[in-house]
């Protein structure tokens, strides 16, 4: 899709700056579009790699290097964006990475790659810069204004870090919308979207829940809460941990202590998780994972949906506890919700949908595709901002 260059400079776009995948969207002709790169890919892996001191890769090519060059590849920088380096959760996250890090002058994390320091907003900026390139490629002009969707747990410090990342990337003007509010907006025009709805947003790195009152003139937030360390990445790590335990019992080699092998195992676990969304069984498989006295050894572990359900249980309990906490704080009984809308990639798993349906016992809807809801909602917010800007600029 292309629009005239004279219009493009005035356009606002919506951005889902995701923990694992990011995307950019626009509203044109009353339709929402997720913009694709030259390969037709609408989702950009949130990964930055430095094959050499002076070259950077972003997206698919960078993701391919996570398992072969973890010392110079940074995945999911959003998780530590604007957070202090000495935060125990940040330290836990960094302990699994292959690169060196330390606290900067302001206490936030600095990552060292090829003996060069990189602030986390700088690394997130590379991802936003690639989204800017895609937007300008598809819209045919100098688009540089965006509404960025962020988790409800982002405070002023983390919003400022996101804004700095956008500025470094070349975005000239940005505003923010909470991810579940964006998802609610994306679903607003689906049949039956009315009353007080819950938005269950289970993404790659964060979980958010929001209760929204649907009004004729807009949406009113009644309750919201989130967990910034709960998402698909954590499920992948738990699956990988279970596989590593089995491998240890058989071969007495702990893959968690080997950065390259651990990342390969996490990727294999993610693939198995996605496969189990549509099939009853999957295989976690990593070829030549370790060398022994008898030669190279493969890791092969069969997994079914029942096993995935057991792994998911504690994560779902945490997510549903966040929902209950949000509703209790606003004195909203779960039974008063008219429906719960799902967004985020984890909601493609039948175990997640079943658990949410059983917990709330109200109609459950997927509406727009869960993995696209936040980006589409941000694009809708962007179109509203664009209209407002145009009206204010009119003579």
| CATH number of the domain to which 179 belongs | 3.30.420.40
Q: Based on the domain organization, do 323 and 346 belong to the same domain?
A: yes
Report if residue 69 sits inside a domain: yes
Q: Based on the domain organization, do 264 and 151 belong to the same domain?
A: no
Q: Based on the domain organization, do 174 and 60 belong to the same domain?
A: yes
Q: Based on the domain organization, do 327 and 357 belong to the same domain?
A: yes
What does the pLDDT read at residue 394?
A: 47
What does the pLDDT read at residue 4?
A: 39
Structure tokens at 277: 């969304």
Report if residue 229 sits inside a domain: yes
What does the pLDDT read at residue 96?
A: 87
- Quote the CA–CA distance of 183 and 150 in Å, as a whole number: 11
Q: Based on the domain organization, do 144 and 201 belong to the same domain?
A: no
For the chain, 395 residues long, the average pLDDT of each consecutive 10-residue run is 49 95 93 94 97 96 94 96 96 92 97 97 98 94 92 95 98 95 90 91 93 88 93 94 92 88 93 93 92 85 92 96 96 94 92 95 89 95 81 52
Q: Based on the domain organization, do 304 and 389 belong to the same domain?
A: no
What does the pLDDT read at residue 124?
A: 98
Is 0.85 topped by the overall pTM? Answer: yes
Q: How many folded domains does the chain comprise?
A: 2
Q: Based on the domain organization, do 315 and 219 belong to the same domain?
A: yes
Task: Spell out the residues 6+ positions from residue 199 whose beta carbon is closer than 8 angstroms to its own.
Answer: 180, 181, 183, 184, 187, 208, 209, 210, 211, 212, 340, 341, 343
Number of other CB atoms surrounding residue 38 within 10 Å: 8
Report if residue 116 sits inside a domain: no
Structure tokens at 19: 């923990």
Phi and psi for 25 in degrees, rounded to 5? -135, 165
Q: Based on the domain organization, do 350 and 266 belong to the same domain?
A: yes
Report if residue 133 sits inside a domain: yes
Report if residue 122 sits inside a domain: no
What does the pLDDT read at residue 391?
A: 56
Report if residue 100 sits inside a domain: no
Q: Based on the domain organization, do 149 and 253 belong to the same domain?
A: no
The tally of CA atoms less than 13 A away on the side-chain side of residue 368 is 24
CATH value at residue 318: 3.90.640.10
Residue 361 belongs to what domain range?
193-366
Report if residue 94 sits inside a domain: no
Q: Based on the domain organization, do 239 and 323 belong to the same domain?
A: yes
Q: Based on the domain organization, do 335 and 260 belong to the same domain?
A: yes
Q: Based on the domain organization, do 153 and 50 belong to the same domain?
A: yes
Report if residue 119 sits inside a domain: no
Tracing tokens 């606003």 back to the chain, one arrives at 330
């Amino acid at each position: 899709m292309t629009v005239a260059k004279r219009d493009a400079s005035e356009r606002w776009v919506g951005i889902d700056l995701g923990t694992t995948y990011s995307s950019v969207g626009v509203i044109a002709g009353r339709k929402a579009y997720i913009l694709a790169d030259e390969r037709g890919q609408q989702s950009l892996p949130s990964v930055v790699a430095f094959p050499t001191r002076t070259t950077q890769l972003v997206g698919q090519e960078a993701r391919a290097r996570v398992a072969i060059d973890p010392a110079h590849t940074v995945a999911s920088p959003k998780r530590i964006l604007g957070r202090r380096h000495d935060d125990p959760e940040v330290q836990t996250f960094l302990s699994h990475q292959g690169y060196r890090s330390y606290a900067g002058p302001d206490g936030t994390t600095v990552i060292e790659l090829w003996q060069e320091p990189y602030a986390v907003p700088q690394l997130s900026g590379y991802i936003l810069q690639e989204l800017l390139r895609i937007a300008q490629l598809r819209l045919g002009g100098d688009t540089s204004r965006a509404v960025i969707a962020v988790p409800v747990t982002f405070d002023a410090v983390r919003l400022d870090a996101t804004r700095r990342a956008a500025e470094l990337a070349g975005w000239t003007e940005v505003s923010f919308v909470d991810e579940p509010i964006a998802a609610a907006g994306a679903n607003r025009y689906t049949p039956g979207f009315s009353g007080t709805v819950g938005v269950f947003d289970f993404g790659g790195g964060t979980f958010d829940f929001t209760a929204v009152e649907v009004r004729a003139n807009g949406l009113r937030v009644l309750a919201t809460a989130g967990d910034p360390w709960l998402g698909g990445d954590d499920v992948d790590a738990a699956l990988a941990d279970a596989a590593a335990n089995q491998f240890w019992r058989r071969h007495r080699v702990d893959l968690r202590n080997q950065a390259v092998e651990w990342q390969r195992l996490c990727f294999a676990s993610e693939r198995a998780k996605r496969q189990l969304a549509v099939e009853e069984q999957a295989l976690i498989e990593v070829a030549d994972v370790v060398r022994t006295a008898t030669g190279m050894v493969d890791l092969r572990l069969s997994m079914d949906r029942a096993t995935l359900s057991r792994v998911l249980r504690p994560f779902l309990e945490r997510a549903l506890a966040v929902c209950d906490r949000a509703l209790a704080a606003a004195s909203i009984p779960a039974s008063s919700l008219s429906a719960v809308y799902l967004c985020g990639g984890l909601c493609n798993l039948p175990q997640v949908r079943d658990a949410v349906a059983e917990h709330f016992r109200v109609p459950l809807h997927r509406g727009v595709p869960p993995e696209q809801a936040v980006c589409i909602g941000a694009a809708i917010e962007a179109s509203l901002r664009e209209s407002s800007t145009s009206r204010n600029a009119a003579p």
